[in-house]
Each structure stands twice: as structure tokens, then as C-alpha cells.
């Protein structure tokens, strides 16, 4: 299982140290949550933090855009260092344009959806994206409770992937911990903020998530 620690729960006063620490402990990607206060009722970080993270990170940056009209900012986030750019289907009416913009730069495109959005709306794009991000909390804040009813979306995506031999990765984000991670059968990558960064035993937390076997 790939593990992407979400910087949302890290100590931003020591950003470089936090990134180096989870890198050393075996993380695969660094997940950065970008919020605009419009698509979600919270503000987080933007381009300068992605640039700073890129300068110090040996791992790929996995940028989760929770912003309206992502098409306006995709180029800038890629310039700042994003390797994976995930945007929300509810945030734009230009889904294909966004995917193409990301691919134009040779980067990986991810598509996400809120818990209230039915998963089948992603179907037309499954053969175009590199990743689908299933939100298991309402986007906007770290430290929320895992919504177990979202697990069926992971299963649906996994079946589509198998049926049509599609290469996209399934990522899950929100409320991931020791109890909930094993429920994400079919996932390729787990995002985790609180469980990793607030844990007194970060190594154990990362090791545990990595030890979950991917469904084959």
C-alpha cells in the first residue's frame, strides 16, 4: 500500500523537518491539501507552501485541490512542483480540460468527489485519469471521522478498473487510521494526516498503513 501523509496535520513551523521525518519513515508521497474557503469552508495552503515543500522533498508532491475552477491554477501548481494534481469533479465544468492541462505538463491527473456525489459520475473519465481520490470525510478539515458508507465507492471503482483493465490508482482520504484503513480494500494509496502526524509513534503508524495488502 502506498502511504501519503497529509501535511495538513503537520507542524508547519518545521515543514522541512516534518517532510524529512515522514520520508525517512517510509512514506511514498507527500499529500498537500489546498483549500480556497469557497469550495470548502476552510483555508489552508497555496502555491508558496507547495514551492517550499518541493525544494526540500525527495518524494513526489501529491496536491489535492479543494478549490473552485481548478483550471485556473493547475499550471501554477505544476510549476510549483506538483507531480500528482487531484481536483474535484464538483468544482469545475471543465473536467477534460483540467485533465489535459495536467497531462500536457507530463504530470499525473487525479479526480476526486465529495461523499455526497455518486461515484458513477466519474465513469466517463476513468479511462483518462491516473488516480481517483475517494473522500471518506467531507473535504475541508483534518481529524474527522471516517464515513464507512463511502467504502462501496472503492469497491465500485475497483471493479471498473478490473473489468476494463484501467491503470488508475484508487486513493482514499479522510479519517484513515488503524481501525479504518483495513476497510479500504481495493485502494492503492491511503492519505493520512492526524493518524500519522499526531501519533507519538509515527513509524508504527506508517508501517501499519504500508503493511495493508493491496487487493489483487
Contact between 180 and ligand DX5 per CB under 6 A: no
Q: Which one of 36, 130, 173, 188 is the catalytic residue?
A: 173
Part of the chain binding ligand DX5 (CB under 6 A), chosen from 10-18, 121-129, 132-140, 153-161: 132-140
Q: How many CB atoms lie within 10 A of CB 147?
A: 16
**Shortest distance in whole angstroms from residue 66 CB to ligand DX5:** 6
C-alpha cell at 62: 501529491
173: annotated active-site residue? yes
Query: Which entry of Zn ion, ligand DX5, none binds 86, CB below 5 to 8 A by partner kind?
Result: none
* Site map (CB under 6 A) of ligand DX5, residues 21-40, x = contact: ----------x-x-------
Part of the chain binding ligand DX5 (CB under 6 A), chosen from 47-55, 86-94, 124-132, 190-198: 190-198
130: annotated active-site residue? no
6 beta partners: 31
2 beta partners: 189
Contact between 150 and ligand DX5 per CB under 6 A: no
Query: Could you say which of 80, 140, 160, 184 contacts ligand DX5 (CB under 6 A)?
Result: 140
**Shortest distance in whole angstroms from residue 162 CB to ligand DX5:** 26
Phi and psi angles of residue 35, each rounded to the nearest 5 degrees, phi first: -125, 140
Angle made by CA atoms 129, 9, 4, in degrees to the nearest 5: 35
- The residue among 83, 98, 91, 12 whose CA lies nearest residue 52 is 12
Strands annotated E in 79-135: 82-88, 108-113, 131-135
DSSP tally for the chain: helices H, then strands E: 7, 8
C-alpha cell at 199: 501519533
Within 13 Å and on the Cβ side, how many CA atoms surround 105? 20
Contact between 175 and ligand DX5 per CB under 6 A: yes
Query: Which entry of Zn ion, ligand DX5, none binds 129, CB below 5 to 8 A by partner kind?
Result: none
Residues marked as catalytic: 33, 173
Query: Which residues make up the interface to ligand DX5 (CB under 6 A)?
Result: 6, 8-9, 31, 33, 64, 137, 139-140, 142-144, 173-176, 191-195
Amino acid at each position: 500500500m502506498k502511504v501519503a501523509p497529509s501535511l495538513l496535520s503537520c507542524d508547519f513551523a518545521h515543514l522541512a523537518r516534518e517532510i524529512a521525518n515522514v520520508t525517512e519513515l517510509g512514506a511514498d508521497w507527500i499529500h498537500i491539501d489546498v483549500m480556497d474557503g469557497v469550495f470548502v469552508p476552510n483555508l489552508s495552503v497555496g502555491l508558496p507552501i507547495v514551492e517550499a515543500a518541493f525544494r526540500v522533498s525527495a518524494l513526489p508532491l501529491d496536491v489535492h485541490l479543494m478549490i473552485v475552477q481548478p483550471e485556473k491554477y493547475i499550471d501554477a501548481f505544476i510549476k510549483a512542483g506538483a507531480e500528482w494534481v487531484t481536483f474535484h469533479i464538483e468544482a469545475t465544468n471543465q473536467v477534460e480540460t483540467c485533465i489535459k492541462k495536467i497531462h500536457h505538463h507530463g504530470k499525473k491527473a487525479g479526480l476526486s468527489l465529495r461523499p455526497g456525489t455518486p461515484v458513477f459520475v466519474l465513469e466517463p473519465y476513468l479511462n483518462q485519469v491516473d488516480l481517483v481520490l475517494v473522500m471518506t470525510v467531507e473535504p475541508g478539515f483534518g481529524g474527522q471521522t471516517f464515513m464507512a458508507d463511502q467504502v462501496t465507492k472503492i469497491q465500485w471503482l475497483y471493479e471498473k478498473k478490473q473489468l476494463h483493465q484501467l491503470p488508475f490508482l484508487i486513493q482514499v482520504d479522510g479519517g484513515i487510521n488503524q481501525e479504518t484503513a483495513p476497510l479500504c480494500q481495493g485502494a492503492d494509496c491511503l492519505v493520512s494526516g492526524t493518524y500519522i502526524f499526531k501519533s507519538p509513534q509515527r513509524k508504527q503508524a506508517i508501517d501499519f498503513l504500508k503493511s495493508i495488502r493491496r487487493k489483487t
